[in-house]
């Protein structure tokens, strides 16, 4: 488990992380969302031991991570702009990582490189940006570390590659309980892979929630009421987070259990109603509006 306890980090006068407390359980995919400059990369660098927090602690598996070799052996960090040795080939990088990480699986590396149709003997500095990302992801996967930190890793990948990587990640999680932590500014990127999401804004965590829990407790309803009185009755009985009406159709985002909501709706005999799947973005919008933030200003 990764725990950040009241962690702060400043760069000269800029407070990048301000007293953040977060907990990342093993075996789940954690998505770290935030705008540019929110502190995602800084947070990840503290988790993998590159930065030392100014205040607070970052604890991984009950030990401080900074300058802790044995803990760092369980973490692989994929930067948004990964470094490769000049004139190095994927094979060269494989050999280097094999020395650094005892658990590095060379055979799997060769297999994945082939699968992704990359030339292991070709110089990485001749690869495109997307191909370089692929190499860094393959290195990360083959290190077979317990934690895989990805900083805007999926940017630059084409949709096919993105799907392929996601399915590999899911496979890894199921097979060996790997815990990926994925930082991104795009909710759509994280939607179908993350189980737990934290929203970082101006160095602080706005909220950190289980996605399933969020989805279970927030529902979107499309309905047509028979009368205005029944509409008012429903609005007063349910915890409505968001209300919109177009013509006679009402769009409600409601917090609560589905059974209770259904019961309430049926009691007013609407002309029509149905529950619609919420996207991650819609859930976030609702949650952050409650907190007083306009999500559109936070995440594009």
C-alpha to C-alpha distance for 219 and 63, rounded to whole angstroms: 40
CB 220 within 8 A of CB 244: no
Contact track, other proteins, 44-83, x by CB under 8 A:
-x--xxxxx--------------x-xx-xx-xxx-x-xxx
What is the per-residue binding string for other proteins in 1-40, x denoting contact by CB under 8 A? Answer: ----------x-----------------------------
The packing angle between helices 159-176 and 129-142, to 10°, is 10
Which contacts qualify for 226-235: CB closer than 8 Å, 24 or more apart? Answer: 226/268, 226/269, 226/270, 226/271, 230/268, 230/269, 230/270, 231/268, 233/268, 234/264, 234/265, 234/268, 234/270
Among 6, 26, 85, 248, binds other proteins (CB under 8 A): 85
Nearer to other proteins, 4 or 238 (CB): 4
Interface segment toward other proteins; rule CB under 8 A; list 22-30, 99-107, 157-165, 201-209: 99-107
Residue ranges of alpha helices (H) inside 101-227 are 106-115, 129-142, 159-176, 187-191, 211-217
Based on the shown chain and the rule CB under 8 A, indicate whether residue 257 belongs to the binding site for other proteins: no
Q: Smallest distance, Å, CB 153 to other proteins?
A: 14
Q: How far is the CB of 72 from other proteins (least distance, A)?
A: 4
Between β-strands 249-255 and 218-224, what pairing exists: parallel, antiparallel or unpaired?
antiparallel
Cβ-count burial 240-264 (b if 16+ within 10 Å, e if not): bbbeeeeeeebebbbbbeeeebeee
**Total of residues contacting other proteins (CB under 8 A):** 26
> According to the binding rule CB under 8 A, does residue 160 interact with other proteins?
no
Our finding on whether 166 is near other proteins (CB under 8 A) is no
Asked if residue 156 binds other proteins (CB under 8 A), the reply is no
Answer yes or no whether residue 208 interacts with other proteins by CB under 8 A. no
Residue 126 Cβ vs other proteins, minimum distance, rounded to whole Å: 18
For the sheet containing 2-11, what is the strand order? 14-24, 2-11, 55-60, 63-64
Q: Which of 186, 264, 187 is nearest to 219 (CA)?
A: 264
**Which residue in the set 3, 56, 59, 96 belongs to the binding site for other proteins (CB under 8 A)?**
96
Distance in Å, CB of 79 to other proteins, minimum: 5
Residue 95 Cβ vs other proteins, minimum distance, rounded to whole Å: 7
Instruction: Give contact residues for other proteins (rule: CB under 8 A).
Output: 11, 45, 48-52, 67, 69-70, 72-73, 75-77, 79, 81-83, 85, 92, 95-96, 99-101
């Amino acid at each position: 488990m990764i725990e950040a306890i009241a962690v702060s980090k400043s760069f000269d006068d800029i407070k990048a992380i301000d007293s953040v407390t977060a907990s990342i359980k093993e075996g789940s995919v954690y998505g770290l969302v935030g705008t540019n400059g929110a502190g995602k990369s800084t947070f990840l660098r503290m988790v993998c031991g590159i930065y030392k927090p100014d205040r607070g602690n970052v604890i991984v598996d009950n030990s401080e991570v900074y300058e802790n070799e044995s803990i760092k052996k369980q973490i692989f960090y994929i930067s948004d702009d990964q470094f490769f040795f000049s004139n190095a080939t994927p094979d060269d990088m494989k050999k280097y990582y094999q020395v650094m990480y005892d658990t590095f699986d060379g055979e799997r590396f060769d297999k994945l490189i082939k699968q992704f149709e990359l030339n292991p003997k070709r110089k990485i500095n001749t690869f495109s940006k997307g191909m370089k990302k692929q190499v860094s992801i393959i290195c990360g996967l083959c290190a077979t570390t317990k934690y895989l930190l990805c900083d805007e890793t999926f940017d630059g990948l084409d949709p096919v590659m993105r799907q392929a990587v996601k399915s590999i990640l899911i496979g890894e999680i199921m097979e060996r309980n790997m815990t990926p932590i994925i930082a991104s500014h795009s909710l759509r990127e994280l939607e179908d892979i993350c189980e737990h999401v934290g929203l970082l804004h101006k160095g602080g965590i706005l909220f950190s929630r289980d996605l399933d829990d969020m989805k279970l407790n927030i529902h979107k309803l499309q309905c047509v009421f028979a009368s205005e009185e029944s509409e008012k009755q429903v609005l007063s009985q349910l915890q409505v987070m968001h209300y919109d009406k177009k013509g006679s159709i009402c769009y409600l985002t409601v917090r609560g259990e589905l059974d209770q909501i259904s019961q309430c709706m049926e009691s007013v005999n609407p002309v029509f109603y149905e529950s619609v799947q919420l996207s991650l973005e819609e859930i976030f919008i609702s949650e952050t509006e409650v907190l007083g933030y306009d999500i559109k200003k936070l995440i594009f």
